Chains A and B, each alone.
Chain A
Amino acid sequence: MTKQQANWSPYDNNGGSCVAIAGADYCVIAADTRMSTGYNILTREYSKICKLADKCVMASSGFQADVKALQKQLAARHLIYQHQHNKQMNCPAMAQLLSNTLYYKRFFPYYSFNVLGGLDNEGKGCVFTYDAVGSYEKVGYSSQGSGSTLIMPFLDNQLKSPSPLLLPVQDAVTPLVEAEAVNLVKTVFASASERDIYTGDKLEIVVVTADGIRREYMELRKD
């Protein structure tokens, strides 16, 4: 008797890639806007980026239904926090909340691969990268999603982060200026779109600075 296999999966992968880069006083979060299923495109204009708090933005690729549910959960929890503390959550606090929320569903996970970006309490850029069940780490840059295998090595080459295990503790944020980081992101997505079939259509870039949140778009390959 062969073991019975599932004839239905509660998950689907809608593809796409996300990137985030932390700078000295800014943070760039970017994701493509293509949503696909299998070899088909569902839409070319779906935003994977969600503003969780004033200085905290999350980009998630994977199963967008789970991503949407996760975003709603975090938004509701953030409202409760604001009622209780009379202020918005800062980025490191949101990072921990996201981790806890993901682990809460350890045995039926959110199929969501997240990068969280924003400014910490001192106004420095910070990026947190996650797996599907909440394991997270503060890093200087990260990518997730279908194009991450193409994107990450390139970011490593350009922005190599010193190991957090080294002493003395070195700064993870990139010395690049905001404009340079945005350009790097555009380059990286243009390259990923070439070889990753799930990445393309349009690139959405969100930049978080002390002045607020800025949004930018760039066309990508549509094939």
Chain B
Amino acid sequence: MKVKVLSRNPDDYVRETKLDIQRVPRNYDPSLHPFEVPREYTRALNATKLERVFAKPFLTSLDGHRDGVNCMAKHPKSLSTMLSGSCDGELKVWNLTKRECVRTLQAHEGFVRGVVVRFCGTSFFTVGDDKTIKQWKMETPSYGEEEEPLNTILGKSVFTSIDHHQKEGVFVTCGQQVDIWDEQRSNPIRSFSWGVDSFNCVRFNPVETELLASCASDRSIVLYDMREATPLKKVIMNMRSNTLCWNPMEAYNFTCSNEDYNLYTFDMRYLDKPVTVHMDHVSAVLDVDYSPTGKEFVSASFDKTIRIFPKDSGHSREVYHTKRMQHVISIKWSSDSKYILSASDEMNIRLWKANAAEKLGLLTPREKAAVNYSQKLKEKFQHHPQIRRISRHRHLPKSIYSQSKELRVMNEARRRKERNVRKHSKPGSMPVVTEKEKHVVTVVK
């Protein structure tokens, strides 16, 4: 007879002293772990619920401005520094970690229209309603020293926006025309205008650094190459675009925020129709900024909300609002991709988390692993109706909720009417126009 009976030595399975950690022998045999999928599903459901429980995106509000905040700028070298210009010509420099204003200066008379920090981070430029461009030092002037600009350029007309080149001492302003300036000269080195009376936004491409795009008040978006004497091409849309932002990872793509409540992502090579139409706002979209990863962007709207869109999705994944936040004028996504800054009419700048349920601060390895695991589970079961319902649920202010409902009804009615017209007209006389094609009038080269 040969016999062997299971006989475990408890010493192999129990910790030796209380100072040790417990021993956990594993056996991954699937038959020892029944109900794998239902258990994972339950975990995913719990993770989704907890995500909604922990979704507290609002971090702080920076107050101190005495008029509505009109523009903001990120510091290219320091994560904690941020600049904001208000409608009374005041400019403030903020320390975000301390959540306080470190410097205030009266930059312009009238609005500060635009502010941009030079790529090296040592100085910044402002433009204002007093037809001047001013360059300021980033350092606070020492005691007794007067707050004075390094350089002042007097222009002929009001400037509405400014942006700086990524590598060279060149910046661009817009107003009645788009001007490209050398930092050393007091006259523009190049001026572009294309039968347009005024521009409201101009941006350098962060990857192909010689390219520019601007939004004009005649509903067009004009593209330029700094090295050429004439603009490249322009696309005219149904309504005016307020601002635009280049995708920092995909050199060809940019997104513009439009007055018709939508945002449009264009490929600059094929302007005849946008790549994606992003809908969800219920009022004009005023500003847009990309996350440094280029995967998502955030938009600020006149409807008092901020929305975060994945770059290739037609609808937003997140909406932020508070009772006290008024029309949001300017928006920035921080360079570490974790925070969002919004500047609004009621003189406040608000700091939000980019991922509403994210835990801030250092995570232990176990916490990190748990977060990753639940993220994967949520992804795996995202299409299950229960999980989808919970993860998509957002509370909206009543006004916005009813407006979006109204908009939906209006759109549906329009669509129905079009369908009926098509049904009762000669086949082929009413071509189907897709949503993407609808908003573009023409492309001019």
* A is bound by B: no
Interface residues of B (CB under 8 A from A): none
Interface residues of A (CB under 8 A from B): none
